[in-house]
Amino acid sequence: MFVPGLRTNIFCTDLGEVRGRSSTYAGRVPSATPMFPLGSALLPGMPLPLRLFEPRYLAMLQVVMERQPTDFGVVLIERGTEAGGGETRFDVGTMATIEQIAPDGETFVLIARGTTRFTVDRWLPDDPYPQAEISELAPLEWSDELASALIVAEDAVRTHLARAAEFVELPWSADIVLDDDPVERSWQLAGIALLGELDHVEALRSTSVGELLDRTVTGSQAGLDQILFNHGPH
C-alpha cells in the first residue's frame, strides 16, 4: 500500500538481508514485468513510499530484488482497490526503482523512485502478483526553446501551491527543491502540482515536454480553483 509521509531516515540497503527475509514469499520468476497497481499514479522522478504486507507483493519483492535494476511497474487503479486483487487498471505507468528498503516485522517498508514510462501491451494472470508485458515509452526530449515555458510553468505551480496552502494541508511545499535536469524537473513539477490522479495519467501520455508543461499548468490551475471553491473565502 502507498504510505504518505513515510520517513526515509530509517532504511537499510543490505539487499542480501532483504532477500533472505523475503524468501519465504518467493514465487516463480516471471519473464514479464512485476506490476504494482496503486490508488495513486507515479511520475518519473517522483518518490514512492510503500509498505508491503500482502503475501503476493512480498513474493513480488523477492523477484524484484533479483532483478537489475531492482524495479517494478506502477499503474493507477481505474476501478477497485489496492488490497485483494481483481481491480481494473490503466494501461500507462512508470517503472519504480527501489532506492531504500528495510524489514519491519513481517512487512517491508521501501522508498522507490519513478524512472521510465511504459504502456501495457498485455496483462498476464496474477500468479500470485500482477504481471504484464510492457513497452517502454521514449523519454521526452529537451530543447532550449522550452526554457521560458518551464520558468512560467514552475512559477505558476509554486504560486498555486502557496495559495492552496493557506487553506489545506499539502504534501509538497511551494519552495521544494527540484532536479536541475530540465526534463526531470518538468516531471517533478507535474508531480508536486495540484493535479488529480487522472491528470497524472494524462501527463504520462505526453509526447513532448511542452505538452507536459501545458497539462501541468492547466491541471494545477483547475486544482487550485477547486480548493478555493471548497475551502477558500466566500
Instruction: Show me where the domains of the chain are located.
Output: 15-136, 144-231
Question: Quick one: average pLDDT of 151-180?
Answer: 98
Question: In angstroms, rounded to a whole number, what is the distance separating the alpha carbons of residues 5 and 48?
Answer: 10
Q: Is 149 helix (H, G, I), strand (E, B) or coil?
A: helix
Confidence of residue 13 (pLDDT cuts 50, 70, 90): very low
- Give residue-wise pLDDT tens across range 70-127: 999 999 998 766 555 566 899 999 999 999 999 988 899 999 999 999 999 999 998 8
pTM of the model: 0.84
Sequence-ordered list of residues with C-beta below 8 angstroms from that of 193, at least 6 positions apart, any chain: 157, 160, 161, 216, 219, 220, 223
- Give residue-wise pLDDT tens across range 172-189: 999 999 999 999 999 999
The pLDDT > 90 percentage for the chain reads 76
Question: In angstroms, rounded to a whole number, what is the distance separating the alpha carbons of residues 104 and 100?
Answer: 13
Q: Is 75 helix (H, G, I), strand (E, B) or coil?
A: strand
Question: In angstroms, rounded to a whole number, what is the distance separating the alpha carbons of residues 74 and 129?
Answer: 13
Q: Would the pLDDT of 148 be above 90?
A: yes
The pLDDT > 70 percentage for the chain reads 83
What is residue 68's predicted lDDT score, i.e. its pLDDT? 86
- Residue-by-residue DSSP string for 199-233: HHHHHHT-SSHHHHHHHHHHHHHHHHHHHHHHHS-
6 phi and psi angles, rounded to 5 deg: -65, 130
Was domain 15-136 assigned CATH 3.40.50.970? no
Q: What percent of the residues of the chain are helix, what percent strand, and what percent coil, each to the nearest 5? A: 35, 25, 35
Say if strands 107-124 and 88-104 run parallel, antiparallel, or are unpaired: antiparallel
Q: Would the pLDDT of 7 be above 50?
A: no
120 phi and psi angles, rounded to 5 deg: -85, 120
Residue 48 in contact with residue 42, Cβ under 8 Å? yes
**What is the overall mean pLDDT for the chain?**
87
